[in-house]
Structure 1
């Protein structure tokens, strides 16, 4: 008799994730976990380390910090980037290989200090927990500029310029960036959103008109935030009832899209809405022609990816 027990699947979103009725989760697309390099990454020389910090006595947040290789006599402070990784709110982490490789490249080119937030993932921790974790992490970073603050991180104090505090993210991380900026309350110099995961109940642009409610991106949002809907302002920032984009709490914004990405038209609609909202900041659009979602993360050696890294580095330094 076969003693193997076949577990029943509760939800399956291929090729991303499989959730079983007993509560266990298979993250099918997640890249391997890799360690930090406190002595420097062999390819880029970028230093990295893992930390955790407490916002309340009964909770803590983890993050991976990055510091570029610097000359012995470093005389000026560096921009600070609080980064939110992608993965549909349900896969990847601050220590995932793809995220780690991507940030090593970006840090080496942009010469910035990065705090990559390891927010909690759905479905074990349903939204809005990820937003709350990221908001707490952003406020913790910003608190380093206040006198008398406790639990300070030496890399931020020694190397970080709090007059140049940026937020950035890819895919679901780009969605998080918008939702951090629209909250206000933290002084942010700039924000970049790459291939942001925005969606809605009605298809727009080139999105397929049939089966929209049952599309992968619709089902993904229902998995990570089942008590919400597709026109929740968290996922549809230009939908009915969304707060005015004139209230975005930063002075500069860069939105990057990929021509072949199904999310491309949402990103363009977002930037058009920002431009017509009355927001007084500067916003730019960068489109990677002929490329698909996350191309620069999966294939960083291509010419288009290199162009993307140069654009991000330029944004973080001007």
Structure 2
């Protein structure tokens, strides 16, 4: 089997998507399993290739700074030789056992308690990224992994600095259209509020089993949430009114009306007596939190998630 940099043995490919593929690999130096995300660069002039490599390197560095129990860790970055082509950058990541939220949602809506716990941990992970000045930009079910130990937020590959605009043609955005906040479709740069909007869509889908807007045809989907308010949540047995209200607040067209990631994590966790880690500015960036009582207080708890019992799969495919 091929070995990258004399260290990472590629055992089997476990996913492909877009311009990347993910391999189950073995770190022969530290004797541990890892996931390798190998990026295929387009054939282009040297300057374009160099810029693409630096972009991947910057993304790997940004993700590596995020030490949080609900974020899949990044261990290393390197360049792999490719026959007759530019060296391909690769990112070495934590290999996580579990199934994506997208896989669980194929069976329909989740129990509201599971939905709240999942989105509480996603919110806590994103709050940690926001504290480091990083916005994910592509929160969606395929990027959320459910494991026996809790949620893992994956693929910070298109993460951006807060306020950064999308590096694409005018009228296009980075991310999955149905989860992109309406202000980003109008040219506003990514902010923590845009990630919170995506978690609101995620929570709605988990509770209702569908998107918050009627979609009559595929071309209609990217613009539905720009021109229409979200539909009311369907009746969900036992769902607390404040959780339903929180979901719709996250979907507000006004970014200032949305809660912060920390507030969302705390409120959802309190609704199901779950335990999450939320960030606190200062040297201790991931102080555990149990429940909210007064702004400015510190919290104590640990991360936990009672994962669904369905058979687990391996690391998700990229893209």
Alignment TM-score, normalising by the size of structure 1: 0.32
Between Structure 1 and Structure 2, the one with more strand by share is 1
Alignment TM-score, normalising by the size of structure 2: 0.32
